[in-house]
Amino acid sequence: MISYTAGNFGLILTGRLIQAIGVGITFPTIQTVLLVIFPPEKRGSMMGLGGIVIGLAPALGPTVAGFILDNYSWRDLFGLMLIPVGIAIVMTIAFVRPVIEVKKSKIDVWAMMLSTIGFGALLYGLSSVGSDGWTSRIVITSIVVGLIFIGAFVRREWPQKEPFLNVRLLTIPSFTVASMITALSNTTMIGIQVVLPMYLQNVRGMSPLHSGLMILPGALIYGVVSLISGHLYDQMGGRRLALVGTFLLTIATVPFAMLTRQTSYSFIICEYTVLMIGVALVTMPLTAASSVDLKGIQLSHGTAVNSTMRQVMTSMGTAILGSVLANVMSNSNPAHSLLQSAPLVYRNQSYIAAMHGFRAAFLVATVFGIIDFIFACFVKNEKKGA
């Protein structure tokens, strides 16, 4: 509602921050409930079902947003969302009941402030790279301040009996490896989802709706494969799914780094679909696998750490891709004077500069995929005989 009625950017940002708080509470809660109420042998299937909600909605976002922007006002991006939000609130009041033991706990205000400043400064620094460059004082200062505050946050939380965020869980290898895989997979997916529509619209001249429709098949396939991958995890464990999923993710990302202005649309659709299959094979099954060595209250803490890693790394990855895109494009742009003396040459060189930027950004996404596959090699199969 705040963003829908906003009269300036500050109010839009405020509304988006409140939305982020709501999502930050809801998604970990969904995962915690699924992990608690279902036995380990059924967690994969249930997490796969939950993955449709958690993963499919962001994947469908570009298509829905493109349709709204092509036919209505930008305000309707927020206004139309009031309907499903209202339905969700009513259903929550009517059907949601406590399923796990609830106990009162104090909120560590200092830890919350340290984490907010730390992650906020780090993300601001990375986001500013595109406009200010890596050597900018504001970029370097923000990143350094962010790292210092994150370090202070970890130091404060480590000895706590009831931590704000149980970072000690990262000492459990199975949890850390599985969490890193899901975080990197999500980072690569969201990065491609951000950069690919920009390529389609800025280089290929597509409308927001048509660029969204280009990635719609992959989004739909993601929902189907999420269900299948959940059942497969219950039967064979996470190792094979992690290896196959991250391999498909990486292989599908490589061709994006070689896109041209003439690359066929069918090829782009197929590559994106393969990428989404890889992500679907990894995300929710490996989220379930991260809980294998967790017990009791550790499940809820593990979900919080997993979600934090995923959201922070996704934001950082998107910022890095955006900065690489902007920097490479800026460094490759032709001199502005050429626009007057040879406008056709200027236009052609501008296209070439844009392609250099997009290829560089997709190449970074490929690197994320390679690192993801390396982590997958360390997944241990918890299913005996599989």
CA atoms of 129 and 140, how far apart (whole Å)? 9
Q: Per-residue confidence at 367, pLDDT binned at 50, 70, 90?
A: very high
Q: What's the whole-number mean pLDDT along residues 313-339?
A: 82
Is the pTM value of this prediction over 0.85? no
- Of 94-98, 107-111, 325-329, give the range with the top mean pLDDT: 325-329
Q: What's the whole-number mean pLDDT along residues 172-192?
A: 89
pLDDT higher at 265 or 209: 265
Predicted local confidence at residue 336, as pLDDT: 73
Q: What's the pLDDT tens digit per position in 43-91?
A: 667 776 776 776 666 667 777 777 887 788 888 888 888 888 889 889 8
Q: Is the pLDDT of residue 329 over 80?
A: yes
Percentage of residues of the chain with pLDDT beyond 70: 91
DSSP 64-85: HHHHHHHHS-THHHHHTTHHHH
Q: Which of 9, 46, 11, 14 is nearest to 30 (CA)?
A: 46
Instruction: Strands of the chain (E only): list them.
Output: none
Q: Is the pLDDT of residue 143 over 80?
A: yes
CA atoms of 351 and 354, how far apart (whole Å)? 5
Q: Which of 149, 181, 119 is nearest to 310 (CA)?
A: 181
Give the distance, in angstroms, between the CA of residue 136 and the centroid of all CA atoms in the same chain: 26
Structure tokens, 99: 């399923």
Quick one: 9-105+168-376 is in which CATH superfamily? Answer: MFS general substrate transporter like domains (1.20.1250.20)
Structure tokens, 180: 């890193």
Q: Is the pLDDT of residue 34 over 50?
A: yes
Q: Is the pLDDT of residue 92 over 80?
A: yes
**Amino acid letter, 274:** V
Q: What's the pLDDT tens digit per position in 214-261?
A: 888 888 888 888 888 878 887 877 888 999 999 999 999 999 999 888
CA atoms of 370 and 185, how far apart (whole Å)? 10
Cα-based distances in Å from 287 to 41, 232, 381: 14, 14, 14
Q: Per-residue confidence at 297, pLDDT binned at 50, 70, 90?
A: low
DSSP 129-147: HHHH-TT-HHHHHHHHHHH
Q: Is the pLDDT of residue 177 over 80?
A: yes
Burial letters for 160-187: b for 16+ Cβ neighbours within 10 Å, e otherwise? eeebbbbbbbeebebbbbbbbbbbbbbb
CA atoms of 344 and 266, how far apart (whole Å)? 29
pLDDT higher at 39 or 263: 263
CA atoms of 234 and 383, how far apart (whole Å)? 8
Q: Tell me the domain boundaries of the chain.
A: 9-105+168-376, 106-161
- Total Cβ atoms within 10 A of residue 373: 20
Predicted local confidence at residue 385, as pLDDT: 45
